[in-house]
Structure 1
Amino acid sequence: MPADIQDVKQVAEALGAKFDEFKSSNDKRIEAIEAEKTKLAGTVESLNEKLSELDGLKSDLEKEIAAIKRPGATDDKAVSEHKTAFLQFVRKGKDEGLGELQAKALQTTVDADGGYAVPEELDRSILELLRDESPMRSVCNQITVSTPDYKRLVNLGGAGSGWVGETDARPATGTPTLAQIAAVMGEIYANPQATQTSLDDLFFDAEAWLTAEVAREFAEKEGAAFLLGDGTNKPKGLLAYTLSTDGDATRAFGEIQSIETGTAGTFTSDQLISLIYALKKGYRAGATWMMPTTTLFTVRTMKDSEGNYLWRPGLEQGAPSLLLGYGITENEDMPAAAADANGIIFGDFKRAYTIVDRIGTRVLRDPFTNKPNVGFYTTKRVGGMLVDSQAVKVLTMAAP
């Protein structure tokens, strides 16, 4: 049964109640004698896990409601015929006329090395699922291009200006400095397998199966690459760019500022606040946190100097849980708290990092390699690029 607003309200109420219980237990843990502390620590850990579960459930229900309200695609005749022929190719391997229908629907031809373009509606569904599954896609800017590569110019400033009197001469000022940046592209592939018997079954939803399998496999690989990728046959990840302790005024373009905690593997609430204010005011409006779940467990127990918890649950529909007033993206590809770990990122990810998708996902049907299974070798070209290195800050848990 589809989710509705009442479901979200009930989960939000349960989240609020569980947070109150969590605060009470954690306060007791802090104030308890050593004999009681171990017992209460287990309770707090259990409640912490339940908070994550309820927080995630609330977000999932809100996504489900949004998906129900999203208007469906309006296929014209050519697109509809292409989709029908493509699904016949998936089920039976019949591709008579598919190339011509693809050319009419997508203005593209069959690749020289074989394979067919996924119909536009299915391709869009894969990207939507990737956006839901991949933490980086959920917060970063995304564009789709029709060329193998993508470049853009960035203005580094330096035009110069000055004050003059009414009749004074106006000498020429400096020329703005422009830099060209390029997305680091790579080809990602998945090869899900299904038996021909299942494909012959009319009750087997081949479209949904292929979309979900490809999206899941792509999301796992892409998510790690957009954060940690080394740029070799894959995108260069956000944390793979050079980190520097220099401030915005002196740091080179393309380097991200790292704020060191001064202690190996740990951080304080004051350092989280410092990370916020290291970011220029103009970026804070769209800023969010990014950290792994284990680090989120830690920050949920933190308080400010007046005894208030830094983390607050989102109790209204559409309202995210907040840390110091900013939303949180859980990303299990983020390094866990440890010596020298770049364990927390804060900033406006949409302005910092752009994900570049080459239009078109292609499928090659392979009924021979892994009999009796039919393989669907699916490929997509995708890249990533750091666009604004001032838009995010990294908390590095390192000693001086």
Structure 2
Amino acid sequence: MRTIDDVQQDMTALVDGAEGRHLTDDEVSRYTTLEQELTQVRRSEEIRARNTAYLMPAPGAPVAAAGPVAPPRADTGLDQAFVAYLRTGQPNADLTDLRPTNAQSGGVGSEGGYLVPPGFRQRIIERMAAFGGIANVCDVLETDSGNRLEWPTIDDTANSGEVVAEGAAHSGQSDLVFGKKELSAYTYQTGGDGGVPLRLSRELIQDQAFDLEARLARLMGLRLARAMSSDLAVGSGVDEPLGLVTGLTGIEPADDTAGLTYDDLLTFVHSVDPEYRANARWVFNDASLKTIRQIKDSNGDPLWRSMTATIGDAASTGMLLDYPYTIDQGMPDIDIDSNTVNWGAFGDIREGYVLRRVSSIEVVVNPWTRASQRQIEYTAWMRADATQQNTHAYVALTGEQ
């Protein structure tokens, strides 16, 4: 089974082999194939890491008194060291490799923090994914560092081939016009009211039956996701991610009829090129879903039902005009009477929008500031960015002008 290192070595060898010249078409095609393989291998390894995290017993879990003895597990010194750091704020030698290179101090954890091990990180990412809908359906790029990324883009949808007479030259075509997209890495931090860190009592932390890792991963993941949710939907792109529908000219409803109608929904669907509708979906918030589910036909029956439902069936969840939907509470509320707000999106979101996450997440444990109240403070940082990568793949939904 090939590993990430195997694939990256092949990619490097391919580029090095073309030193001093342009890559051939075959080499470019081979490199693209390797990129796809690298993405697949990374996803596979993430799944394995998540599965390993699920199998890990909670700290202090009772051991079965009878039955066959399981073979010894692989060395868990790093995980145990990190749990000890979460409980006490005191790092040990096993955490040396987790020290981030930009730490403010080489000896005090509360001043510099430590990068979280893979299992803990995956719990945070999963909790973020469960909260933010857009992050689940867009293209996700994981990088080891936060360096600015640039890549070329092209829109050639206006061009096509043509029939030419024998011996005649073609005409009317255009040269390829390339654009450029880039991703940065903005820092998101967990915090409570007034920007204070997460605080847990020492009594609770010292209870060995309490799964501290799971609780902290859940809380940190939710708070990071809550901070990112609005940015992924409507972020300005200035010192924050560019939102899914920010700056797009929204598709208006079909007519001036008050409220949202069936014809309006059809207008939205057929505003996306059929090339992108095979993997299309809706994205809006729960208030917009409620408005859509209230649409009724001339007989007063709800239009909202699954593809296989009959008119007498109860309203179904999951499909709207044969397309799945995603709820993201960061999207604005529907306003069908105004075209100043893009309240939803429809199309191939994975093709159209990309989220970049830096793989390292840093946790700082501070046992001193609230020591007199017997509390330990926790703060976590992660870096991410997102942008529109192909706005022909989806459309923004808006109100009437």
Please confirm whether the aligned pair reaches a TM-score higher than 0.5, indicating the same fold. Answer: yes
One-letter identity of the residue aligned with 2:278: A
Partner-residue secondary structure (3-state), 2:376: strand
Could you say what the CA RMSD is over the residues aligned between the two structures, in angstroms?
A: 3.3
Q: Which residue of 2 aligns with 1:62?
A: none
Select which of 284, 293, 302 maps to 2:295. 302
Aligned to 2:38: none
Paired residue secondary structure (2:185): strand
Aligned to 2:102: 111
Give me the whole-angstrom Cα distance separating, in 2, the residues matched to 1:292 and 1:81: 43
After TM superposition, list the pairs within 5 Å mapping 1:338-377 onto structure 2: 338=335, 339-340=337-338, 341-371=341-371, 372=373, 373-377=375-379
Question: Is residue 86 of structure 2 the alignment partner of residue 90 of structure 1?
Answer: yes
How far the C-alpha of 1:306 sits from its partner, in A, is: 7.9
* 1:262 to 1:270, Cα distance in 2 relative to 1, 3 A: closer
Aligned to 2:122: 124
Deviation at 1:175, TM superposition (A): 4.0
**Paired position in structure 2 for 1:150:** 149
Which structure dedicates a bigger proportion of its chain to helix? Answer: 1
Structure 1 partner of 2:178:
178
- Following superposition, the deviation at residue 98 of structure 1 comes to 3.5
User: Partner of 1:18 in structure 2?
Assistant: none
Query: Structure 1 residue 210: deviation in Å?
Result: 1.1
Distance of aligned partners of 1:306 and 1:196 in 2 relative to their CA distance in 1, 3 Å threshold: same
Cα distance change, pair 279–79 in 1 and its aligned pair in 2 (3 A): farther
Return closer, same or farther for 1:270/1:169 CA change in 2, 3 Å cut-off: closer
Quote the offset at 1:167 in angstroms. 5.0
* 1:154-165 matched pairs, under 5 angstroms: 154-157=153-156, 163-164=163-164
Q: Tell me which residue corresponds to 1:235.
A: 241
Measure the CA separation in 2 of the matches of 1:272 and 1:309: 14
Structure 1 residue 101 displacement after superposition: 4.3
TM-superposed CA distance for 1:212, in Å, is: 0.5
| Alignment counterpart, residue 196 of structure 1, candidates 193, 202, 205 | 202
Separation in 2 of the partners of 1:189 and 1:81?
A: 27
Alignment correspondent of 1:60:
none
Aligned-partner residue type, residue 214 of structure 1: M
What TM-score results when the alignment is normalised by the length of structure 2?
A: 0.68
Q: Is contact 1:184–1:236 with CA below 8 Å preserved after alignment? A: no
Provide the aligned length of Structure 1 versus Structure 2.
Answer: 311
Shift in Å, 1:362: 0.4
Q: Mean Cα displacement is larger for which, 357-366 or 79-88?
A: 79-88
* Partner secondary structure for residue 78 of structure 2: helix
Q: Is the 8 A contact 2:306 2:322 kept in 1?
A: no
- Could you tell me whether the CA contact under 8 Å between 2:254 and 2:267 is conserved in 1? no
TM-superposition CA deviations, 1:295-340 (whole Å, max 9, x none): 2222223245687642115899xx9521111112222222223342
Match of 2:76 among 60, 70, 80: 80
Residues 1-400 of structure 1 aligned to structure 2 (within 5 Å):
71-72=51-52, 80-102=76-98, 109-113=100-104, 114-148=112-146, 149-157=148-156, 163-164=163-164, 167=167, 175-190=175-190, 191-240=197-246, 242-244=247-249, 257-260=250-253, 263=256, 266-304=259-297, 309-313=302-306, 321-338=318-335, 339-340=337-338, 341-371=341-371, 372=373, 373-399=375-401
CA contact (8 A) 2:253 2:267 kept: no
Please give the secondary structure, in 2, of the residue aligned with 1:381.
strand
5+ residue gaps in structure 1?
1-66, 103-107, 245-256
* Contiguous gaps of at least 5 residues in structure 2: 1-46, 57-71, 105-111, 191-196, 310-315
Change in Cα spacing, 1:79 to 1:291, as seen in structure 2 (3 Å) is: farther
1:312–1:146 CA distance, 2 compared to 1 (3 A): same
Q: CA deviation at 1:355?
A: 0.8
CA contact (8 A) 2:229 2:330 kept: yes
> Does the 8 Å CA contact 1:144/1:359 hold for their aligned counterparts?
yes
CA contact (8 A) 1:261 1:397 kept: no
**Which secondary structure state, in structure 1, belongs to the residue aligned with residue 345 of structure 2?**
strand
Distance 1:183 1:362 in 2: 21
**The residue matched to 1:218 in structure 2 has which SS?**
helix
